[in-house]
Structures are given as structure tokens and as C-alpha cells.
Amino acid sequence: MVYEVYLRSFADGTGDGLGDVPGLRSRLAYLADLGVDALWVTPWYPSPMADGGYDVSEYRDVDPRFGTLDDVDALLADAHALGLRLVVDLVANHTSSEHPWFRAALAAAPGSRERTRYFFRDGRAGGEEPPNDWISAFGGPAWTRVRELDGRPGQWYLHLFAPEQPDLDWDSPDVQEEFDGIVRFWLDRGVDGIRVDAAPAMAKVPDLPDAGHPPDATFASSEWVDNPHWDVDAVHEVFRRWRRIGDTYDGERLFVSEAVVNGPERLARYVRPDELHTTFNFDYLKAPWDARALRAVVEGTLAALAPVGAPATWVLSSHDETRHVTRFGRADSGAAVMGFDAAAPADLALGLRRARAAALLTLALPGGAYLYQGEELGLPEVEDLPEEALQDPTWERSGHTARGRDGCRVPLPWSGDRPPFGFAPDGVSPWLPQPASWRSLTAQAQRDDPSSTLSLYRDALRLRRQLLGEEPLTWLDLGEDVLAFDRGSALRCVVNLSARPVPLTGLGTVLLTSGGAAADLPPDTAAWLAP
Ligand code: GLC
């Protein structure tokens, strides 16, 4: 099980209100106690923070706000001593616009080698219009026009994310070689894996043809077919190249991709034997709280991955999505990506019940699971952040129509009864304000309460480690609205998505439930049994 550490919001070790490497290091014991196997840490590189660190200006260093390379070495040593592996986040589709390469490209002439590392093109309509119709994941066009050295409006450059994140051209040998070195730099330092950010973006159809997007298109990459800027087949060359590098290292080094693509067959291509080891499963994350939909995703995922021999992964939340306690409390419980969910009323008590049941479902499925920090505390999305506190580029780029992803990034509550709840030293304001109501959700408040969400996760992770290995999944039929399956003879999982209680009599010995310990499993509850 891999735990996503959103570094800015995990723990502040230096007292500036921003999470950092020393803060993470000071809380490793919590993660070991929870039963985590590995951490994926979001970017710590020097960055102007136009997109929370996913805009990197120097790939072989640590931003002073997050710490130093020495802090990272100490973190790695401590994590490894506790049996925790560490995965770094590599943002290779784009650099920051402050990266020396992009500055050099701006200062160079059209057609220069400096510009071939990115996508600089002349505009259409005499230069006035963007070169094509591609769109940015954060809203608006994917092109920004530059001023040339003579001060006149000039070429346009491509950015599938924010304008401060110019896309690299992966056909450029400079780009390929530079990233070979960066991958080696971190593997040499002892990291156990690399998360490949925005993986499907890293190849474009030559000549950059129009995608045919309708005028108000949003970035619906899970629906796109033959899109010229997403999931283009040439992208797999990059992963083969990195895999060849990774395979020269001792020990197990893992590559995992972030890939929101159209269906499990396209996704399975990322994890062919000579490419990445695993990939996040966004179909599962986006599925609504509905037995048929979830079962279809589970079956589709396992069927598509079997031929390539890669393990499945399961994920319910991340730093890019509405927290699933809130999502599952809404009438429409599926997720949109990148914080474009429409705000809708949420029944948080219902959402929490379902989230706890979903945790048992997720942790019982074959393969790996990714947890997002704070889900083990049952944190909801913070939907009432003041507008002036919002920092996600989505807010500005959507013309203040989508609030973006800040609501799932609010710093963790560790202890105490008022903000900053042990996230930072008392009296320090965290970079996003925490709700006062989180006093009952702190790690400290939940630690010794056997009915808390933290205890549920801890118990489930311990059992999972004890009981589960490679056993295949076999479905049981307990009715249409009930997900029930065995993992060999080791574990039976029953998840009640119906409106009626499900009798557990005769199904085995109950080991753990997400709520209620009666013989009948209440709606929106899950149980693990020894069959
Ligand atoms: C990935 C990250 C997201 C970031 C984007 C651009 O989707 O998870 O947070 O904004 O890439 O790098």
C-alpha cells in the first residue's frame, strides 16, 4: 500500500506554515504504525509554485521551502530503517517557465535549438490566433503568445497545463538525455520509485493537428479517442527508455504513471512488460457509489491487465480530486478530475459511512492500493475556503467558475483542539486555513478510539498484510447491489451498496466491519470475514 504525501500539507517542520521534508521525516513513525509500505511524495523541487510544485525550475535539488538534499537523504535513511519505501514525483511533460531552458528559449530566436526543446510555433491568422485548438487541463487554450526580443508579439508556446508550465518536446534529444540524467540522479540517491506525472501528455502527433475540440471543451481525457495531444502511441518510447535505466539498478525500483486515458485497455499499454510497473486506476476513482459501476471497473481492470501481467492499483482520492467522503455524500458520487466537480450538497455522515466501506473494498482487491493523506482520518473536502485563500490555477483559469483542488489540500490535523492542529507550531497559520471542526478528526483524537476511521485503516492494513497475497478474486452472488468476493480462502469481502441490511449468517467469521458489528450488514457498510 502506497501512501500519497502531499508535501505542502503533511507536516511543517520549519514553522513557516508550509509542509516540508523535515516535517515529513518527523512523522514517519505515524506512517509506519498505520501500516504503510511506501510513500509517494509530491514534488519537492525548486519551483515558483504556480501549480504547487508541479512547475519545476531545477530537477536535481530541493526547494529551500521544503528543505535540502541533505534532508532528503536523512528522510530516505529514516524511511528505509522503518521499512518504508519512497517514490518521488517526476514532472517531465513540462518544466516551469522559470526553468533555465525556457528562459533561454524565450531569449533565443524562432527556429533556434533552444526553442526545439519546447513547442514554439507561429500562430494562425497572421500570427494572431493559436497554432491549433488544443486546450489546457486548467481551462482555456493550451497556447500562450510570447514577445520576441524586439518587443513585438511573436510565436506561441504550448502548455497543456498552466502557462507557467510549458510542455517539453520529447522528440528533442536534449530533453531525452537530460531526463535520463535526472532519473539516474534520484535512483542513485536511493529512491525506490518514480511517479510519472501527466504521463499520457509526453508525446504529441507530429505537426500538431487540431484535436477537433468543441468551443467549450473541458479536459475530458478519459473520453478522448485518437487525440493528438494525449495518449499518443509514441509516448511509450519514453517509458521503455526509463525502464531500461531503472532495470540497471539494484533492488526493486518502481515506476508508476499518472494516466487518465480512455478505458482499461489503453491504460494497460502503460504497464506492458518493458514499460512502467504500475499505473493509477482513475476509472476506479471516478466510479460512483454504485455496485454495478464499481464491479464493472474492477472486472474491466483485471481483465485488461491480465494479458500484460501487471498488478492492478486502486485509488479513491488524491491531491487532484474532491475527497471521497464528500464525493460519496453527493447525489452524483462520481468524480470529475482536476477539481472541476460542480459544488453540490453533500451528506457527510453518509459520505463517511461509504468512505469507510470503500476503504475495505479497496484494500481487499487484488493488487496495490494508493491512499491519499488524510483519508485515514476521514477528512472531508473543505468547500468553504475563502476565495482569497484559493491558490490552484484552476480558479483563475476557469474565470472563477471552478474552485479547483485546494479543498482536498488543506493541511492535516495532527493534534490539539484548534488550528494549526499540530501541523505547524502553535500560532503559525497554515498555507490554507483548516476548519475548526477538524478538532475531532485529528490523528491524536482518533488514535486510541477503536471505532475511529484511523483505527479502521490501521486494522485493515494489518489484516491485509497478514492475510492477503496473490490470491485471485472470485465473485459471490449476494444480490445486485452487493459486492461480495473471496480472495482465495484467505478473505471474504462483502460491501453492501443496497438500501437493505445484508445477513452475514453462514458467510464466515467476521474479522472487521466498517460500521456496526451486528449479524446483519447495514447499508453502505462493508465487512471482512474469514470464510
Ligand atoms: C498531475 C498532478 C497535478 C498537476 C498536473 C500538472 O496531474 O497530479 O497536481 O497539476 O499533473 O503537472
pLDDT tens, position by position, 399-418: 898 889 999 999 999 999 99
Residue 139 confidence (pLDDT): 87
For the Cβ of 45 lying below 6 angstroms from any atom of ligand 1, the answer is: no
Is the sign of the CA dihedral 319, 49, 242, 237 positive or negative? positive
pLDDT tens figures, 224-276? 999 999 999 999 999 999 999 999 999 889 999 999 999 999 999 999 999 99
Task: Return the ligand 1 atom nearest residue 138 CA.
Answer: 10
Spans of the chain, pLDDT less than 50: none
- Concatenated DSSP letters for 436-456? GGGGGGSHHHHHT-TTSHHHH
* Burial (CB count within 10 angstroms: exposed 0-12, middle 13-18, buried 19+), residue 424: buried
Distance 248 CA to ligand 1 centre (A): 28
Backbone angles phi, psi at 384, to 5 degrees: -120, 35
- Concatenated DSSP letters for 294-359? HHHHHHHHHHHHGGGTPPPEEES--TTS--HHHHTTSSS----STT-PPP----HHHHHHHHHHHH
Task: Return the ligand 1 atom nearest residue 54 CA.
Answer: 12
Backbone angles phi, psi at 156, to 5 degrees: -115, 150
Task: Return the ligand 1 atom nearest residue 51 CA.
Answer: 10
Residue 337 confidence (pLDDT): 63
For the Cβ of 54 lying below 6 angstroms from any atom of ligand 1, the answer is: yes
Report pTM: 0.97
Residue 166 CB contacts under 8 Å (≥ 6 apart), including other chains: 94, 95, 97, 102, 105, 118, 119, 157, 158, 159
Residue 516 confidence (pLDDT): 77
Residue 526 confidence (pLDDT): 98
Residue type, 53: G
Pairing of strands 491-496, 482-487: antiparallel
Q: Are 228 and 209 in contact, with CB atoms under 8 Å apart?
A: yes
**Residues constituting the chain:** 531
End-to-end CA distance of the chain: 24
Helices 173-188 and 235-246 pack at an angle, to 10 degrees, of: 30
For the Cβ of 320 lying below 6 angstroms from any atom of ligand 1, the answer is: yes
Nearest to 336 by CA among 383, 400, 391, 402: 402
Nearest to 93 by CA among 235, 224, 213, 191: 235
Residue 517 confidence (pLDDT): 67
Nearest to 193 by CA among 464, 460, 3, 409: 3
Q: Could you give the CA distance from residue 35 to residue 38 in angstroms, rounded to a whole number?
A: 9
Q: Cα Rg for the chain, rounded, in angstroms? A: 23
Nearest to 301 by CA among 260, 324, 268, 272: 268
Pairing of strands 482-487, 473-476: antiparallel
Coil, strand, or helix at residue 284? helix
Distance 152 CA to ligand 1 centre (A): 32
Residue 333 C-alpha cell reads as 458520487
For the Cβ of 321 lying below 6 angstroms from any atom of ligand 1, the answer is: no
Task: Return the ligand 1 atom nearest residue 320 CA.
Answer: 9
β-sheet bridge partners, residue 145: 156
**Alpha carbon of 157 to those of 3, 87, 97, 141, 162: distances in Å?**
35, 31, 11, 11, 11
Task: Return the ligand 1 atom nearest residue 91 CA.
Answer: 12
β-sheet bridge partners, residue 475: 485
Distance 282 CA to ligand 1 centre (A): 14
Residue type, 141: P
For the Cβ of 164 lying below 6 angstroms from any atom of ligand 1, the answer is: no
> In the chain, helix, strand, coil percent, each to 5?
30, 15, 55
Q: Could you give the CA distance from residue 509 to residue 459 in angstroms, rounded to a whole number?
A: 16
- Element (DSSP H or E) covering residue 292: helix 291-305
Coil, strand, or helix at residue 52? coil
Distance 26 CA to ligand 1 centre (A): 26
**Alpha carbon of 133 to those of 136, 143, 181, 318: distances in Å?**
10, 9, 34, 29
